[in-house]
Structure 1
Amino acid sequence: MKAIAVFNNKGGVGKTTLLCNVASYFKIKNEQRVLIVDADPQCNATIYLFPPERINQFYNNSSTQKSLYHIIHPYKRGKGYLTIDEMPIVHSDGFDIDCIIGDTRFAVLEDFLSSEWIASKSGEERALDTTFAFKSLIQSLAQRYDYIFFDIGPSLGAINRSVLIACDYFIIPMSSDIFSIKAIENISESLHEWKEDFNRSLAEYQRKEKIAYTLNNIPITFGLQFLGYVNQQYTVKRIEGQARPVKAYDNIIRRMPAKIASKLAEFTPKINQEQLIIGEIPNLHSLIPLSQAANKPIFKLGGKDGVVGAHFKKVSEFENVIGKINDHILSNIEVYDNFLAQ
């Protein structure tokens, strides 16, 4: 089972749209068992995956309908963890995919997770258990799913840190602006620091307890790797029949490969600069709001969802694009698997 986070330190880059469409493609086209975990307190993935009436059912019945908050909050009390049969997993009919829904209350756990991270540096076992809560969640679901996709907010805070150190891979959606490139520097610096603290915490635990820390009897390592990035939301023009980004976007796009490859080299063993570009998605204009209104992936949109005329061609083009992204993701995962098997 593989756990993949879709993440950027900059907001507004189309993160949730990319994640939900890729995850749904994995499920529908690849026939994989897929789960989305909405770990963004803004709950954008939940809103995208489910129609308004279903959302109302979820949050108007908070006494019975559980969310991600109910999985992590028990760590604050040090007891009452949910079993796999109690996991708050619901199914999105439109995307044909399972989801652990988000919760705005999850934001109040940010300070708790931050303090536990600090305590874990002294090798405190309870703090380590909390720090690796998402890793424990992934372990408990490993037999049920082939892929778990995590949607997380545009921050470098404690919640996202807890998710990212638990995942196997991360993907960065990039908008074609200078701020996305600057965000790569923040991500690089933070990941390097987290990795050092992660290893220092486990070493301190082993020094104090004379035994390696394990989670559910499984050794823990920092295994996060960078799968690649997707250029999004740029405008194209036709040159000799070929779609090309307009000059203002093209100048920025040309700077991305070298910048990303150099800043994230620590997390890209055996993946070259060209392989890190896993896809390009031009501006989809009205297809995104149509997809949001229908609560289904863009590649499944049809006439009853408001698609008319030339939009049918755009839907088909998007399916080809998301299919190529799917292929590149699987190819890079295979490279990493072969590398680790050596």
Structure 2
Amino acid sequence: MAIKITLGNSKGGVGKTTTTCLLAISLAKHFNQRVLVVDFDAQADSTDFLMRTFGVQTDLTNHPSIFDAIKSPKHAAASVLPLDDNLHIIPSGEELSGLDLLLFEKGVFGKFEAGLYLDLVVQQIEHDYDFILFDVPPTSNIQNINAIVASDYYIGVMMTQAKSYRQMAGFLKESDKTATSARNSKYGYEGAKLLGILMYLENKKSNIDYTVISAAIETYGDAILYSRVYERERVKRYDLIPPNPNKFDQHDKKIFAMYDSLAHEILMRVGQLAETEPKLRIQQLLEQAADDLNQQEYDTLAEALDAAQFYRDEIVEERDFTSTQLATALRDLFRDTPTQKRRVVIHRIIDWLQTEQDLKSLVNSVNV
């Protein structure tokens, strides 16, 4: 049975579709997972992105869409469009805007049963996949209800903007309401669970972004995913020139390192990996400071953090700070340090790792 996940937010323009598509590629290409993307948005952005990325030129006017599958769930398999060996999509199109009318004609509009149709589609095909990802529009409508009912988990995608932070509460509330209704229905649903909230940063070095992150951590706590995604010019360029998933250049590799980290954490949270690998956690600790470090400096710090077992939450928390606070402190230290003094800072960090001192002591030792 596939693990089914909806990625969403009540606000548009937060990187939801981009995240869904690049996460799907990462799971399929780098983790050998069989992945199906269901484009459940009439704008069909994920359909366009993934078809261009994999060079698929199928004429969709002659190919069944998700709307056709909803009309006839028993024929859902016919709507699946292969993109690569491990990655398929059920495409969407403008006809999906007529979903409300279709459900009205079926006599279920306004009833709980109107939210079951996507799941009827999924039941026909999920045995062929490890993961099914739903791309939904940024509004609370029948598409979102169907996606949450059909999902095992949902992920909130939150850009580090005040409005996106506020809208996240609405998405989580509506998703939980739908999941609870499904759980309490006569149809035997377990109800989707919150898998986590992904921070999509506009500016890696912006204090505003980290103010929003701090507020989100205070509000949502452990629901915040360790993995972060940063807005990059390269990703914007993908709208014109999509990545070649079989031949990444150095810039693409940096992009997909973020999504590989996200994929790894998702696999861990859904129980497909026993525990987070130390290498990944160390990478996440240093990610914010990475742009200010050369490879040798990065490797030196990574080895020191690994030796001090800072990939273990309990080791960090014994000093009364979190991994996020440590990552932010490392970012600030290197952002404000001239290149010629970085070596001294690195050695003071290494010395500090051998103590039981708190973050304030680290900052004070560096600023001496």
Secondary structure of 1:318's counterpart equals helix
Higher relative contact order (CA 8 A, sep 6+): 1
Query: Of 110, 116, 127, which aligns to 1:118?
Result: 110
Q: Paired residue for 1:326?
A: 263
Map residues 180-329 of structure 1 onto 2, 5 A cutoff: 180-199=164-183, 201-202=185-186, 213=187, 220-236=188-204, 245-261=205-221, 273=222, 276-285=224-233, 287-296=234-243, 300-302=247-249, 312=250, 314-329=251-266
Q: Paired residue for 1:17?
A: 18
* Cα distance in 2 for residues equivalent to 1:32 and 1:110: 33
Q: Paired residue for 1:103?
A: 93
Secondary structure of 1:292's counterpart equals coil
Q: Paired residue for 2:115?
A: 131
**CA drift at 1:200:** 5.2
Q: Are 2:1 and 1:3 aligned?
A: no
Q: Size of the alignment, in residue pairs?
A: 272
**Cα pair 2:179 2:191 within 8 Å, conserved:** no
* Cα distance in 1 for residues equivalent to 2:56 and 2:257: 31
Q: Paired residue for 1:158?
A: 142
**CA drift at 1:253:** 1.4
Which sections of structure 2, spanning at least 5 residues, go unmatched?
276-368
Normalised TM-score (structure 2): 0.66
**CA drift at 1:316:** 2.8
Q: Describe the superposition over 1:43-86 as per-residue Cα deviations: whole angstroms up to 9, x where unpaired.
A: 01011012399787534xx2x31111101134xxxxxx4335x4
Q: Describe the superposition over 1:225-255 as per-residue Cα deviations: whole angstroms up to 9, x where unpaired.
A: 111122224212xxxxxxxx31122111111
Q: Paired residue for 1:90?
A: 81
Secondary structure of 2:33's counterpart equals coil
Question: Which of the two has higher C-alpha Rg?
Answer: 2
* Cα distance in 1 for residues equivalent to 2:67 and 2:271: 33
Structure in which a larger fraction of residues adopt strand:
1
Secondary structure of 1:83's counterpart equals helix
Q: Are 2:126 and 1:142 aligned?
A: yes
Q: Cα distance 1:331–1:283, how it changes in 2: closer, same or farther (>3 A)?
A: same
Q: Cα distance 1:336–1:159, how it changes in 2: closer, same or farther (>3 A)?
A: farther
**Cα pair 1:233 1:284 within 8 Å, conserved:** no
Q: Cα distance 1:222–1:337, how it changes in 2: closer, same or farther (>3 A)?
A: farther
* Cα distance in 2 for residues equivalent to 1:167 and 1:337: 22
Q: Paired residue for 1:49?
A: 50
**CA drift at 1:196:** 4.5
**CA drift at 1:111:** 5.0
**Cα pair 1:232 1:282 within 8 Å, conserved:** yes
Q: Paired residue for 1:176?
A: 160
Structure in which a larger fraction of residues adopt helix:
2
Letter in 2 for 1:165: V
**CA drift at 1:105:** 1.0
Secondary structure of 1:293's counterpart equals coil
Secondary structure of 1:42's counterpart equals coil
Q: Paired residue for 1:77?
A: none
Query: Of 64, 67, 78, which aligns to 2:65?
Result: 67
RMSD (Å), alpha carbons: 3.0
Q: Cα distance 1:179–1:201, how it changes in 2: closer, same or farther (>3 A)?
A: same
Which sections of structure 1, spanning at least 5 residues, go unmatched?
75-80, 121-127, 203-212, 214-219, 237-244, 262-272, 303-311
Q: Quick one: percent identity of the two aligned structures?
A: 19
Q: Cα distance 1:199–1:33, how it changes in 2: closer, same or farther (>3 A)?
A: closer
**CA drift at 1:112:** 4.7
Secondary structure of 1:142's counterpart equals helix
**CA drift at 1:99:** 0.6
**CA drift at 1:201:** 4.4
Q: Paired residue for 2:355?
A: none
Q: Describe the superposition over 1:286-320 as per-residue Cα deviations: whole angstroms up to 9, x where unpaired.
A: x1133333433679543xxxxxxxxx3x4332232
* Cα distance in 1 for residues equivalent to 2:259 and 2:54: 29
* Cα distance in 2 for residues equivalent to 1:327 and 1:52: 22
